[in-house]
Structure 1
Amino acid sequence: MAVKITIEVDGADPYLGDRLQAILQSIFEASGSDEDRSNSADKHIAAKALGITVTKLRDLRLSGELHEGIHYSRISPQTIRYNLPMLKDWWVNRNDPAAHQRAIDQHLRSLPSNQKSKSGR
């Protein structure tokens, strides 16, 4: 999500508005996007997080190296969302499948559908 912050300041310093705008923009960018906070990303953000092209990301998905439900989810036939923590773990551990499998197991255990329900409810 791209956000442009514009500030107009009446006063003696003609550059104050520009400086405030730059400060607010850097604060906004440092706080991360909604996608960063939710750990879900589109193909552009996911590819950038790994330092690869969108085409390479697609090729990894189509080759079966990335697994649906773990590394990505289909929202619609045209929309895919990537699980950034799992994608980054796969990238770091691509030469150590056992280490990545531990991360997958932990991820699956953390899903709400795998939580024990509280008795009496």
Structure 2
Amino acid sequence: MSEMKETDLCHKAEAAKILQCHPDTLKRWRGKKLIENIHYVQRSPRSIRYVRPLIEDLAINWNNEAGHQRAIENYRAGLLSNRKKKR
């Protein structure tokens, strides 16, 4: 996901505000509700950024797993690495 725009990423405080939880709760949710390289990117052990559009969608579709999965697929389809090369 190297072509992900920097504006799509946010810090844990903003992600926690979107999800209406405490920032420390995000750590517990990583690996359970939040998926690495989908909902968040770990650049180093101390640098984790959350993917704002998917965090916002997760907040809306918390109990609608199928709806959130469609949002993940649509977001990933829009990334440069998933576009067909023009000749």
Q: What band does the TM-score fall into relative to the shorter chain? A: 0.7 to 0.9
2:30 partner SS: helix
Q: Please list every run of 5 or more consecutive structure 1 residues that lacks an aligned counterpart in the other structure.
A: 1-36
Residue 12 (structure 2) pairs with residue 43 (structure 1): yes
Using the size of structure 1 for normalisation, the TM-score is 0.63
Counterpart in the other structure of 1:77 = 45
8 Å CA contact 2:9–2:52 kept in 1: the answer is yes
Counterpart in the other structure of 1:13 = none
Residue 68 (structure 2) pairs with residue 100 (structure 1): yes
Cα RMSD after superposing both structures: 1.4
| Residue 89 of structure 1: how far off its partner (Å) | 0.7
Residue 51 (structure 2) pairs with residue 91 (structure 1): no
Counterpart in the other structure of 2:22 = 53
Q: Deviations over 1:57-90 (max 9, x none)?
A: 111114x210011100011111100001101111
Distance in 1 separating the partners of 2:14 and 2:58: 16
Distance in 1 separating the partners of 2:63 and 2:17: 21
Counterpart in the other structure of 2:78 = 110
| Residue 49 of structure 1: how far off its partner (Å) | 2.0
Identity %: 39
Q: Please list every run of 5 or more consecutive structure 2 residues that lacks an aligned counterpart in the other structure.
A: 1-5
Would you say how many aligned residue pairs link Structure 1 and Structure 2?
82
Give 4+ residue runs of structure 1 displaced > 2 Å after superposition: none
Distance in 1 separating the partners of 2:24 and 2:58: 18
Q: Deviations over 1:13-64 (max 9, x none)?
A: xxxxxxxxxxxxxxxxxxxxxxxx80211111111222211111111114x2
The higher relative CO (CA closer than 8 Å, separation ≥ 6) is in 2
Q: Which has the larger radius of gyration?
A: 1
